[in-house]
Amino acid sequence: MSVASPLTVRLDGRFAGELSELALPWRAEEAPEPALLVLNEPLAAELGLDPDSLRSPEGIRFLVGNEVPPGATPVAQAYAGHQFGGYSPRLGDGRALLLGEIEDPDGRLRDLHLKGSGRTPFARGGDGLAAVGPMLREYVVSEAMHALGIPTTRSLAVVATGRPVRRETLLPGAVLTRVASSHLRVGSFQYARADVDVLRRLADHAIARHHPEAAAAEHPHRALFDAVVAVQASLVAQWMLVGFVHGVMNTDNMTISGETIDYGPCAFMEGFDPATVFSSIDGQGRYAYGNQPVMAEWNLARLAEALLPLLHDEQDEAVEIAVASLAAFRPRYADAWSAGMRAKLGLPDGLADDVTAPLVTELLALLQQGRVDHTSFFRALGRAARGDAEPARGLVLDLAGFDAWAGRWLALGPDAEAMDRVNPVYVPRNHLVEEALDAGTAGDLGPLRLLLDAVTRPFEERPGLERYAAPAPEGFGAMYQTFCGT
């Protein structure tokens, strides 16, 4: 395969050209002393970019937007959004830029995007910057999600800028180079609804990029909404199955593609509890673990509202269509989640629902009662399926309850190998992420590399990596909080 040097890469301006009303041409702030902290070589190769040239001084300037390939038009994207339920008509990329779209060797368009690249006209009171720690967090968690098989934006690189960022203290600044199948959000549609012509073009652009099958439907825009409902139902089910808490499911942080986006106050749950919330600003638990499906549905209702003029000329009929389409969310979510739970339990297809559903419900009650570590428990169940129940049994409180449950489950003949393919050993546990970020901020990337090695091959148990499979030490979990917009 031939690979391009960064400055000969062709960056398309498809979004900027088709939706100029939502695209403000802008340039990244000059990074005084850019230094590459981490580069995703497999992803570079996927994009047809040469890792060696990305490591060159010119390549690093490309990664922070200071060298722009000829013909590219970096833009800040306009969008609106409901943040914790309150509507902001104008958010937009306050500290981010879309460099352009890159066509990968398979012909797929991928956005090349910067986060932390300086103030834009959407910055409001913000400084437009990002600190090393949060950009490394997005890198490691998004790559872990990808390795878990969960749709997500990707991280190509984190480059330290050499510019300090003022938070509670002065911190080293960084830019994350992000790759996504697009950055179209529910909030993009909320912004565009002010002008039905822009809204229509945005919907057509979204169909072409993400849901091309909708173009052939009798009502393409209704089919687009149906497709977004379907991909989001599936996405949130996958989050729930691995214990992922997004933390800030505002409508500007929900994609049309069905990829997870914006790793701010996200974290993986350890002890199972639907009320789990990590974000320091989510006092009400709006985006708690167990609330995520409901919040996804709420966000999709906001998308439907924005799309109404495209669904039908008569408002009443448009509302009826939207309500009927949105009704598909719950059964789709339930199907995806139940199928995922059956897979986690190694159960064959075709078992009756009235056998598997109570089994799952009872298990979750046992897990919640003992605040059992979600990741270790499901992995340990694989050993129980092989005849060694002790590791799983040792994690629960109600031993008699577990034994009774396990007897019924084992009688169904769970497939241990299949379980090991869906129950990860390694997820980016909060204490390990913090350890890697603290060291990375202080200039030592060793812990980050070790963590990345564990979580990017999450299903492959490896000797020597035991501490990456273990819950946080006593006392860490209860105190743990994550912060937004840092």
Q: Which residues bind Mg ion (CB under 5 A)?
A: 253, 262
x-marked contacts with ligand AMP along 312-351 as a string, rule CB under 6 A: ----------------------------------------
Q: Compute the distance between CA of residue 432 and CA of residue 455 in angstroms, rounded to an integer.
A: 11
CB of 248 to ligand AMP, least distance (A): 5
Q: Please pick, from the candidates 93, 226, 297, 420, the single residue that binds ligand AMP as defined by CB under 6 A.
A: 93
95 binds, among Mg ion, ligand AMP, none (CB under 5 to 8 A by kind): ligand AMP
Three-state DSSP at 134 gives helix
Q: Compute the distance between CA of residue 294 and CA of residue 96 in angstroms, rounded to an integer.
A: 29
29 binds, among Mg ion, ligand AMP, none (CB under 5 to 8 A by kind): none
Q: Compute the distance between CA of residue 431 and CA of residue 420 in angstroms, rounded to an integer.
A: 24
Q: Compute the distance between CA of residue 311 and CA of residue 299 in angstroms, rounded to an integer.
A: 17
Q: Binding to ligand AMP (CB under 6 A): which residues in 425-484? A: 484
CB of 95 to ligand AMP, least distance (A): 4
Q: Compute the distance between CA of residue 348 and CA of residue 363 in angstroms, rounded to an integer.
A: 18
Nearer to ligand AMP, 298 or 476 (CB): 298
Q: Compute the distance between CA of residue 266 and CA of residue 482 in angstroms, rounded to an integer.
A: 7
469 binds, among Mg ion, ligand AMP, none (CB under 5 to 8 A by kind): none
370 binds, among ligand AMP, Mg ion, none (CB under 5 to 8 A by kind): none
Which of the ranges 59-67, 93-101, 149-157, 362-370 carries the binding residues for ligand AMP, by CB under 6 A?
Answer: 93-101
**Taking the CA atoms of the chain, what radius of gyration do you get in angstroms?**
23
Number of residues engaging ligand AMP in binding (CB under 6 A): 19
Which of the ranges 246-254, 305-313, 382-390, 410-418 carries the binding residues for ligand AMP, by CB under 6 A?
Answer: 246-254
Q: Compute the distance between CA of residue 93 and CA of residue 24 in angstroms, rounded to an integer.
A: 10
Phi, psi of 150 (to 5 degrees): -100, 130
CB of 60 to ligand AMP, least distance (A): 22
Could you say whether residue 131 binds ligand AMP (CB under 6 A)?
no
Three-state DSSP at 219 gives coil
Q: How far is CA 275 from CA 288, 344, 425, in A?
A: 6, 22, 23
Residue 456 half-sphere exposure, CB side, CA atoms within 13 Å? 16
Could you say whether residue 171 binds ligand AMP (CB under 6 A)?
no
Contact 456, 144 (CB under 8 A): yes
Helix axes 220-242, 292-311, angle to 10 degrees: 170
Q: Please pick, from the candidates 123, 357, 445, 470, the single residue that binds ligand AMP as defined by CB under 6 A.
A: 123
Residue 409 half-sphere exposure, CB side, CA atoms within 13 Å? 30
Nearer to ligand AMP, 447 or 485 (CB): 485
Nearer to Mg ion, 251 or 325 (CB): 251
Q: Which amino acid is at 404?
A: A
Could you say whether residue 127 binds ligand AMP (CB under 6 A)?
yes
Using CB under 6 A as the criterion, which residues of the chain lie in contact with ligand AMP when the complex forms?
91-96, 122-123, 126-129, 248, 252-253, 262, 264, 484-485
